[in-house]
Amino acid sequence: MSVSGDGGGVRTVEIGLLGAVEVTVDGASVSVGGHRLRAAFARLALDAGRMVTVSTLVDAVWGDDPPAGSGNALQSLVSRLRRTLPAGVVESAPAGYRLAVAPESVDVHRFERLAAAGRRTLESGDPAGAAETLREALSLWRGPALADIGDAPFRAAVVTRLENARLAAIEDRIDADLALDRHPEVVAELEELTAEHPLRERLHAQLVLALNGASRQADALTAFDRIRRRLADELGVDPGAVLKGAYTTVLGSPGVPAKQSVRMPAAPRPVTTNGARTRGNLRPQLTTFVGRRTELAAVADLLAAERLVTLIGPGGAGKTRLAEESGARLTDRNTGGVWMVPLAPIGEGDEVPQAVLTGLGRRQVGLLDTKLSNEASAPQDVDAILVKALSAGPTLLVLDNCEHLLEPIAALAHSLLLDCPELRILATSREPLGVPGERLHPVPSLALPPPGRLTPAQAARYPAVQLLVDRAASVRPGFALTPENVDAIVEICRSLDGMPLALELAAPRLRSLSPEQLAARLGDRFRLLTAGSRTALPRHQTLHAVVAWSWELLTAQEQVLWRRLSQFPGGATVDAAERVCADDDLLRPGDVLETLASLVDKSLVELVAEAEPPRYRMLETVRAFGAEQLETAGETAATRDALLAYFVELVETAEPKLRSPEQRTWANTLTAEYENITAALRWAVDQGRGDPAVRLVAGLAWYWALRGAHAEADRWATAVLPLADQAPPVSAAIVTAFAGLTAASLRSTYEEAKREAERVTELIKPFATAPDAHPVLVLADSIIHFLGDRNDQVQEKLERVYRHPDPWVSALALFLDANLHENDGDLLVAEQLFESARSAFESIGDRWGRGAVLSSLASIKALRGDHRGAIEALEQARALIYDLNGFDDLPRVLLWLALEWARIGDFERARAYLDESTTHVARLGDDDNAVGFLGAARSTVLRLTGDLTGAAALLTTEIERYRAHPYGPPQIYALLLADYTYALVAVGEAEQAVDYVLEALSQAAEAHDSPVLGGSLDTAAAVALALGDPAGAAQLLGAAALVRGLPDLGNPDVVRTRELAAEALGPSTFEARYRDGETMPKDDVLDLARELLTQVRRR
């Protein structure tokens, strides 16, 4: 990296951290003495080109034990560092220091760039290029990273990260070498690496492949068996997909004995303490066991403390496999053996004892004393034989599939536990056995990825995805999770609820269907998922058979409730189930609760954890089966009509409560019921039922507004609008207003939005201007007038709104009035009105109103330079918005928090808030307004941290995007232009900045937004100052304060302009020119700014 030296020459600085700390200047080594000095220097180098705060550097050098006056101590270290390095390399910033070198001059950053490039090259199919790039990356390492900075507090975490990155790069390079048939060359290296990292599966898989490629198949199989045993012994897990894939590759190679290709090597069978004979009848598994690490540990702990543990869950949840795997891991505890007894084939209760005895039969001779005395020559009954068989020391009996013969199995289990003191029983069932002392352990579906876009690496962390990919690779060699199929794979897993059996049945379909095709066809899952194992029980060979087995075990009332509950996609409360599912014939309302509890016991319905009131839901596959049975019974239409009637009533009850102290409770109720409400709404629209459809959308309008769900509001308002003539007029007017608003905000340019606002105003006028108009119509009408730049009409409208009988509308009037004064530059009056609005909303208990007012008050605090006060207000607003899941408002509050933290120099917090805001903006979808504000805020933070290049690049992209399609009001464009102007001034391009600030002024004037115009005038002052006119800058600053209503004492850019102008002019002259701007007529401000900028550019 080249930097300017004292004499104007150029010096080349290179920094090494991958080893001992090393610095060269123009090729000559420079010594950085003292481990604390090296630690401070290394910490700066890790963020080369970016500012590191004082607090971060103090923590990096001294950790939790900083010296008194740590700031001075750090300054002393920096002074020593500056004497060591060329001038200009260490720069000061208001809140920290920056190493003014490019990241490429530091070997850490160069290594990370090359390692990433090598991996991309490898993934693109160029192993030769990848190997070359990765070798170059690895050659940068001279020894252990940061080897000579002592025990600096940050060292351990950084070294761990770098060592992991180095190991990953080595693995990538070995993959490249293997792809280039360099198997013999890497064997020795891999043997050394696997010894150093005995549990790193990727390295062991590479060793297996390398040995196989070197024609050493026997050694490859031995290597695989060695790591398999180690994983089982030390972690209790099976090999993952990578290791299993390597093993499969070896089995497919010439020279491997045929018998070795049949199955995975079997784990050693448990033996008795004298080694003479195996105790138990567990058989080795033919497939890998995926996930369930937590469940395995939980079952082991339960069996250590309890004598009867029942794994309960729906069919296909994986109860049997979990029981088998748990038993296999507990053989050392059970010298009497671990015995698996499958009870599904048993049809009668009196056959249960004999079935258990048969399960023990293979070991009966070894367990029982068959030398009967003369006195005991009569044959013993089965129960007595069982007691004797299960009393040979600590024993675990696994009773599998108990649900169809609960009473006889429970009786036998109870009797055996009483008679065999060292016996423990692990049962699997779809409902509890009901035996005293029984401990239940629900077996959940496999963990699922969350909704949203994921990378293959992120998706692969979830057991449901792991299982599907593993089984798909077994039937379709080479199948893997890729960027192209990851979305479909996640969709399949989520559609099948992560149910192991359903995923096992889905995997064979991937032989003939792409993941995308399979995902699209899961609506017909029962016909599609029929390719089960021929060796499985008949009821486990198709998905339909699995669920039908549970159906056939139910009473008539249980079947009625199951099929009717299937119409609740979001689950149901007891009240909803009684109102929708009950009738006077098949299922009376008084029987619903007991029947619901029975379905919970049978693992067909789940009680949703922590839901209040209690809520019950079905897995999607169980629900789909119920819907199929509902159609067969001819009850679909009647049940959906009952669902629709129930949720119309619920929504209309909730709507006024959303503007009351119960706002959060009812908002949460609607959120919990939202899937059900939209199912009812979809039914109404499909049937052309305008009255309930329009009433539902009108009732949800304010709920959608609270949550910022504008796209959802637009979709449903558009869908029901053609049916509006069937509905009550006020409901139809609300739908019309929201359809117009969402269309304007989501599908229009700003000018089109204004025209749409004009049209909608006329349509809703008769209802919005009524003395007791619906509050949502009052709000919508006011927003439409703001959108149409009708501030004069808004003022007239507010006089009527103040007279509205609803206290929430009165509070809203105060808030709107405050915004109107803020827009007009009357901030002192606006502040008083905001405070009044806050009190009004607090007295009502409205969180939305309080959050909106606090955000506005925060902006005024920020203008006064009260950053802590602004942050406190914004944090309160954020908490209120979180309470209501206000997706639309939240990103803007987070952006504002990022700016405030950046302005006081805490860039780490600023970046954290920016990242959080970026995540929320992404969830909003195509919200260009939010994206524009995000771009402006992010660029400001980048500028304040010294990354002018990044800020300019971001702003250039966003400005071009707006020019191509003006997606929002002119305020957004003015903000982007003003920020770009500051970036240009910072890099010495003030003349070029003139055009941008002139355009910003025009946009701000068009918006009739005084705060934005004031900000553009502040920006114009910075340009004037940079072009040599401090007097003009002072006058423009005064004009900005005039227009906005207050000077901006919180923006570092404005503060800097003010300080430099005052320094250039002297205090008295500065104040005089500032006063000239502050006292001029407002109407002359724009002309003054344009004239000053034109004159200063001509000089």
Backbone angles phi, psi at 607, to 5 degrees: -85, 120
Question: What pLDDT score was predicted for residue 785?
Answer: 64
Q: Are 1066 and 1031 in contact (CB under 8 A)?
A: no
Q: Cα separation of 1021 and 1031, whole Å?
A: 9
Distance CA 826, CA 1042 (A): 9
Is the CB of residue 885 less than 8 Å from the CB of residue 671? Answer: yes
- Residue 263's pLDDT is 28
> What pLDDT does residue 308 have?
94
The C-alpha atoms of residue 979 and residue 974 are separated, in whole angstroms, by 9
Structure tokens at 25: 């200047």
Q: Decide if 327 contacts 428 (C-beta within 8 A).
A: no
Ramachandran region of residue 88, left (φ > 0), alpha (ψ -120 to 50) or beta? left
How far, CA to CA in Å, does 483 sit from each of 487, 729, 919?
Answer: 8, 50, 20
> Which residues make beta-bridge pairs with 707?
none
| Cβ-Cβ contacts under 8 Å for 721 (sequence gap 6 or more) | 735, 736, 739
In this structure, what is the dihedral angle of CA atoms 609, 610, 612, 616, given to the nearest 10 degrees? 0
Which of the 8 DSSP states describes residue 393? S
Q: In whole angstroms, what is the distance from residue 447 CA to residue 467 CA?
A: 11
Number of residues written out for the chain: 1099
Integer Cα distance of 930 and 889 in angstroms: 9
Angle between helix axes 690-707 and 729-747 (nearest 10 degrees) is 50
Quick one: which of 723, 726, 704, 724 has its CA closest to 714? 704
Measured between alpha carbons, how far is 948 from 953 in angstroms, rounded to an integer? 9
The dihedral of CA 442, 443, 447, 451: what is its sign? negative
Strands (E), 408-467: 423-429, 439-442
| Chain centre distance of CA 900 | 25
| Among 852, 868, 860, residue whose Cα is nearest residue 903 | 868
Q: What's the pTM value of the predicted model, to 2 decimals?
A: 0.63
Helix, strand, coil share of the chain (percent; to 5): 65, 5, 30
Q: How far apart are CA 1001 and CA 960, in angstroms?
A: 18
User: Smallest Cα–Cα separation from 174: which of 229, 118, 245?
Assistant: 118
Q: CA angle, corner 879, sides to 873 and 880, nearest 5?
A: 90
H-assigned helices in 673-790 = 674-686, 690-707, 710-720, 729-747, 750-768, 775-787
Backbone region of residue 236 per phi and psi (left: phi > 0; alpha: psi in -120 to 50; beta: other values): left
What lies within 8 Å, CB to CB, of 1095 at 6+ separation is 1029, 1032
Full DSSP string of 2-58: EEE-TTS-EEEEEEE-SSS-EEEETTEEE---SHHHHHHHHHHHHTTTSEEEHHHHH
DSSP helix/strand/coil, 513: coil
> The tokens of 729 are what?
């007029």
User: 5: how many CB neighbours lie within 10 A of its CB?
Assistant: 15
Mean pLDDT by 10 residues, the chain (1099 residues): 50 88 87 86 88 83 80 81 85 75 89 89 81 91 87 85 90 90 89 88 90 86 86 74 78 47 30 46 77 84 91 85 89 87 82 84 41 42 83 90 88 91 92 89 86 79 87 83 88 86 82 84 67 47 72 88 92 93 89 90 80 84 87 93 96 94 91 92 93 94 84 86 88 82 58 66 72 80 63 67 86 89 89 94 92 93 93 91 76 88 86 80 62 74 80 83 78 87 87 90 86 94 94 95 94 93 94 95 92 84
Written as one letter, the residue type at 1039 is A
Cβ burial of 248 (10 Å; 0-12, 13-18, 19+) is middle
